[in-house]
Amino acid sequence: MGRGLAIVIGFVVASHLRSALFLTVFGLLFFLPGFFNIPPIDRDEARFAQATKQMVETGDFVDIRFQGEVRYKKPVGIYWLQAAAVETASALGLPRAQIRIWLYRVPSLIGAIGAVLLTYWAALAFVTRRGAILAGLIMCGSVLLGVEARLAKTDAMLLLTIVAAMGALARIYLSSERGEKPEHPSWTHPAIFWTAIAGGILLKGPLILMFVGLTIGAVAILDRSASWLWRLRSVWGLMWVLVLVMPWFVAIFLRAGDTFFTDSIGGDMLSKLAAQESHGAPPGTYFLLFWITFWPGAALAGLAAPAVWRARREPEVRFLLAWLIPSWVVFELVLTKLPHYVLPLYPAIAILSVWALERRVLSRSWLTKGTAWWFAIPAITLVLAIVATITLTRQPVFLAWPFAAVALISGLFAWWLYDDDNAERSLLNAVLAALFLSASVYGIIVAALTPLFPSPEVARALRNVECVGPKAAAAGYHEPSLVFMTGTSTLLTDGSGAADFLSHGSCRFALVESRSERAFAQRAEAIGLRYNVATRIDGFNFSQGKTISIAIFRSEGTR
């Protein structure tokens, strides 16, 4: 299979257009399984989507809110992109567009495929066109990027902006190192760089400046010179950034004063220096997670590491290591650890890995045993996934098995056939293993785990009631996905409050989790509320790691 893919690459490498189309198609094959049918994921994705939904509902595209609470952790960029997708779909006549979570994921899908294409573009400054395609395929297969492409969050689109900025920065730096001194330096790369900076700031604040700043600082220290920075046209570039980002920042300041800046920089960014929201972990966590989140590229990266380190003084390698190491060290030292924080560093690893592959300097030591990882990950993942489906749904999900079998066979070939002369073919087999694993897990298995997603079941039950405009209050189950699916007006309360809510009118429903039913029943008895159970939905709240049972109560009046 890897040999056939190598032949295809031999055809598409003839032009940039073919290469870009090839990577786009592969990106869609990797990222679309599960994209449409996986329900909203708690909690971050559902929070982002609900805040965007409220923007669309109210027509207020300056303020960011989740129900009545301000949501000032991130700037407005991703909300605007998601709102544009939803508004476009609505204008085209798609029914119930505002509660179709896949529409909110469209910017992430675009960001992920764009990041793959920009990895290809950035890699062209370091390796051949064929190598750049391989780097793009490694990013396509990356487990972490596959997850982020399916989540309505900032990180896939942020990756796009960072790779664009770093690709432009690399070209400017390497042209200086190669002694190129044009009389009239092009504006193209500075324009890409500064536009990407502005986009990154609107998506996630100053984080993009950390990646760029640490890279520039590391290169300047190693070179003992930063004279090449004049080619960035910094004065004009900074003015352009201000033109792009200042209108919204001024608007939110006029709306909320300094609350946004206090919450975003002080409440969110600086608080990550401590263990925020129970996500603390020791240094070294990202290194351990890397072998899973960057699979299948991780095994190749391990083989490339010794040669990369030996060549660290070469300008190309020096720049890529400057992109990678300083920011990685910072993330390892920060107490708050979330896997997606290091995603912007993965393109540098992909390019370095391909650089070593092309030069045929991959390690021949005991590190070659790590190629077994190409088979181990599909085997372990599929065993866990099948056990989960049988445990939660009592169904073996046979449809996933053919895809799983191909993933296992491809991973096995990648491992068994590996040697120094066939490293590329093994890598391509591993990429194909990742492709079929993606189809099996995201396209079939995750979507079949309906007990993990009770909110869509609750919303479906409310849509089937025989009254117009049902209103709901939830007690004991307050996940953001419930608000997104059942409506912004959904009241999040306790058992007693749900009973009071039910007593205030008809076409009202109380969504009461079993642990809150006693308080609900006691309050209902106290106020003379008569009610019945319309239905009961059992599931598993993975955000809290516990089983739940949600009764949907409907009032029958009061005594």
Number of helices (H) and strands (E) in the chain: give both, helices first.
Answer: 24, 7
Do 526 and 429 share a structural domain? no
Neighbours of 97 (CB within 10 A): 19
Is cis: bond before 306, omega within 30 of 0?
Answer: no
For residue 513, what is the enclosing H or E element?
strand 508-513
**Cβ atoms of residues 47 and 480 within 8 Å:** yes
Alpha-carbon gap, residue 381 to 396, rounded angstroms: 15
pLDDT of residue 445: 94
Give residue 383's identity as a one-letter amino acid code: V
What are the residues whose beta carbons fall under 8 Å from the beta carbon of 386, sequence distance 6 or more?
396, 397, 400, 404, 445
pLDDT in tens, the chain (559 residues): 778 899 999 999 999 999 999 999 999 999 999 999 999 999 999 999 999 999 999 999 999 999 989 999 899 999 999 999 999 999 999 999 999 999 999 999 999 999 999 999 999 999 999 999 999 999 999 999 999 999 999 999 999 999 999 999 999 999 988 877 766 678 999 999 999 999 999 999 999 999 999 999 999 999 999 999 999 999 999 999 999 999 999 999 999 888 888 877 766 665 565 555 557 789 999 999 999 999 999 999 999 999 999 999 999 999 999 999 999 999 999 999 999 999 999 999 999 999 999 999 999 999 999 999 999 999 999 899 888 898 888 888 889 999 999 999 999 999 999 987 889 999 999 999 999 999 999 999 998 999 999 999 999 999 888 888 899 999 999 999 999 999 999 999 999 999 999 999 889 999 999 999 999 999 999 999 999 988 999 999 988 889 999 999 998 766 5
Alpha-carbon gap, residue 167 to 121, rounded angstroms: 7
Reference 433, options 379, 383, 396, 386; nearest CA is 379
Do 400 and 473 share a structural domain? no
Indicate whether 101 belongs to any domain. yes
513: tokens are: 């989790």
Tally of domains in the chain: 3
Neighbours of 148 (CB within 10 A): 25
Strand ranges, E, within 370-412: none
CA 502 to chain centre: 39
Do 267 and 415 share a structural domain? no
Of the three residues 407, 425, 451, the one that is the final residue of a domain is 451
**Cβ atoms of residues 153 and 44 within 8 Å:** yes
Exposure string for 216-249, b = 16+ CB within 10 A, e = fewer: bebbeeebeeeebbebbbeeebeebbeebbeebb
- In order, the DSSP letters of 460-474 are HHHHTSSSSS-EEEE
Do 504 and 487 share a structural domain? yes
**Cβ atoms of residues 340 and 286 within 8 Å:** no
Residue labelled with tokens 């190669």 = 178
Do 395 and 513 share a structural domain? no
Indicate whether 434 belongs to any domain. yes
**Cβ atoms of residues 384 and 302 within 8 Å:** no
For residue 536, what is the enclosing H or E element?
strand 529-541
DSSP annotation of 93 reads T
Indicate whether 7 belongs to any domain. no
Indicate whether 284 belongs to any domain. no
Strands 471-475 vs 491-493: parallel, antiparallel or unpaired: parallel
Reference 543, options 39, 29, 44, 36; nearest CA is 44
Indicate whether 282 belongs to any domain. no
**Cβ atoms of residues 150 and 105 within 8 Å:** yes
**Cβ atoms of residues 8 and 94 within 8 Å:** no
Burial of 414 (0-12, 13-18, 19+ CB in 10 A): buried
pTM assigned to the model: 0.95
Indicate whether 340 belongs to any domain. no
Do 260 and 130 share a structural domain? yes
Alpha-carbon gap, residue 485 to 314, rounded angstroms: 54
Angle between helices 401-416 and 2-12 (to 10 degrees): 80
Indicate whether 231 belongs to any domain. yes
**Cβ atoms of residues 314 and 268 within 8 Å:** no
Do 237 and 145 share a structural domain? yes
Q: What are phi and psi of 489, to 5 degrees?
A: -80, -5
**Cβ atoms of residues 265 and 223 within 8 Å:** no
For residue 558, what is the enclosing H or E element?
strand 546-558
Do 515 and 485 share a structural domain? yes
Q: In which domain, by residue range, is 245 found? A: 20-272
Burial of 128 (0-12, 13-18, 19+ CB in 10 A): middle
What are the residues whose beta carbons fall under 8 Å from the beta carbon of 244, sequence distance 6 or more?
195, 198, 199, 202
Alpha-carbon gap, residue 349 to 302, rounded angstroms: 10
Indicate whether 330 belongs to any domain. no
Do 57 and 44 share a structural domain? yes
Alpha-carbon gap, residue 5 to 170, rounded angstroms: 29
Do 234 and 96 share a structural domain? yes
Q: What are phi and psi of 501, to 5 degrees?
A: -60, -40
Of the three residues 434, 451, 468, the one that is the final residue of a domain is 451
Do 210 and 107 share a structural domain? yes
Of the three residues 428, 451, 474, the one that is the final residue of a domain is 451
DSSP annotation of 280 reads B
Burial of 256 (0-12, 13-18, 19+ CB in 10 A): middle
Do 255 and 147 share a structural domain? yes
